[in-house]
Amino acid sequence: MKKYILIFLIVTNCTSENPNIETEQTSTTQISFTSATTLISEYDQLKEGDKKSYKIRKYWIQNILKDVPKMTEEEKSISYKEADNPNEYVYLDNGASCELDVGGTIHGSLIDENFQLDFDKINNNNSSSTLEKMEDTLFNDGYQITLEVSYNCTKDGKFSWLYGPLFFQDGQWWSFTDTDDIDFPAGEGNYWRQSTRVKVNLGTKSKWEICSDNINSDECGVEYNPTTEFFWGYSKFFIELREKITIWDKNSRTMLRNSEIAYPEELLPIMSSPVFDIEEFGETYNCYIYPMASMVYYIRNHGYPQPLSSVENGEENFINWPEVYWLCLKEEIQFPNEIGGGFKDFNNGDFYLGQGPPVLRGDFGNRDPNPRYASWIMWGPSNPENDFDNDLKPVKEFNITKFYWWFDDGFNLLDLCLNTIFTYEKDYDFVCLDKGLNN
């Protein structure tokens, strides 16, 4: 019985192994493969300059960015309102005053945190960088770390900048300003400007307005050392005589240009002769009248040593933004007769500019108490030809060593009117009789 059962199992098992036989057709489609050495990555497709920017960017994000608190939605809302209508003037805690950048050369900076405002929510935005706008996905990494200049700042004649829209956080306004260059590891490159967060104070007044309101205020931040009102009385001689001569000269040049009326012969030697001398670095400079142009030439310096008590109206205020009065040269002036005015270009160090009238400082010494031999100064830029675009240049007091104009025994208005033959009667009426100039 056992032997029968075993045979049955074997037979059953063998019959269950019959396979279904199917015929497969081999596909004739050819599959091609690209060699790995010919694949071009997104990085390889970048221009060389963009490759460097990308490397700097990745290094910056990984090694430099700070962890900062997130702005609240309310803080962002306040910031967007300011960004849409930015203050024209702001100032920093160190006394620097900043004016809204409205054009000119644009430059940018890397910042050491991720900027949290969305530029798409700012109207008329001009503060974002093109790096974050690049279509290449390598730069679309969610970080906003490059900003363009938004404010130009000055302090003590030195420039700095703020970058990007102002933003409000923790009850304080902030921006970013230049800091020291950061050295990157070898091969990583170096971006020429890096900036960090700085507190900003919103201001509704310019430095001109602040200093005009109170020249002694901390906000104004300039050194103001005025002479006395009594001494200032001597400066009025130069103010009044210089005003007569410059208006006479300007009108004569206008008549020559427009009507071909000859420039007065008697005026030429006045414009070609020095008013006083100064000494600087052991050399003597002759100081001449700076001809009045179509617009008055100002340099925006503050702190001219005129006493506040002598200011009666805006035209007599030299304390802030005094007009350029004098051109001081080591060589004789060349005042061309054919045009009746104008100067050639001078090299740096060959000239200085003086602002406002000479100022009597006192210090009569042991000599006869004649103010002519006391201590007088000319106030003006220490370096008139620099990169400050004629604004906010460092100033100094130049010692005056000799006067050619003087009240009694020098050139003066009385001597001019009594001893000069005027070419045109109207000029005499204006200079000597205080009548208006009618062209």
Kindly calculate the radius of gyration of the chain based on its CA atoms and give it in whole angstroms: 38
At residue 297, the pLDDT reads: 73
At residue 367, the pLDDT reads: 61
Question: At 385, phi and psi to the nearest 5?
Answer: -115, 90
At residue 351, the pLDDT reads: 87
Q: Helices 425-433 & 229-259, crossing angle to 10 degrees?
A: 170
d(CA 182, CA 113): 15
- Write the single-letter amino acid at 204: T
At residue 180, the pLDDT reads: 65
| pTM for this model (two decimals) | 0.57
Task: Extract the tokens encoding 435.
Answer: 């009548």
At residue 375, the pLDDT reads: 93
**Per DSSP, which regions of 96-171 are E strands?**
97-100, 108-111, 146-155, 158-169
Roughly how many angstroms between the first and final C-alpha of the chain, as a whole number? 150
At residue 404, the pLDDT reads: 96
What pLDDT, in 10s, does the model give residues 133-167? 545 556 667 788 888 899 998 887 788 899 999 99
d(CA 299, CA 154): 14
d(CA 198, CA 215): 26
d(CA 189, CA 51): 10
- The answer to whether 71 and 113 are in contact (CB under 8 A) is no
- Give me the sign of the Cα torsion angle 159, 160, 164, 165: negative
User: 172: which strand partners?
Assistant: 169
d(CA 352, CA 70): 53
- The answer to whether 202 and 91 are in contact (CB under 8 A) is no
d(CA 75, CA 209): 30
What residue ranges of the chain have pLDDT lower than 50? Answer: 1-29, 31-38, 131, 134, 336-342, 387-391
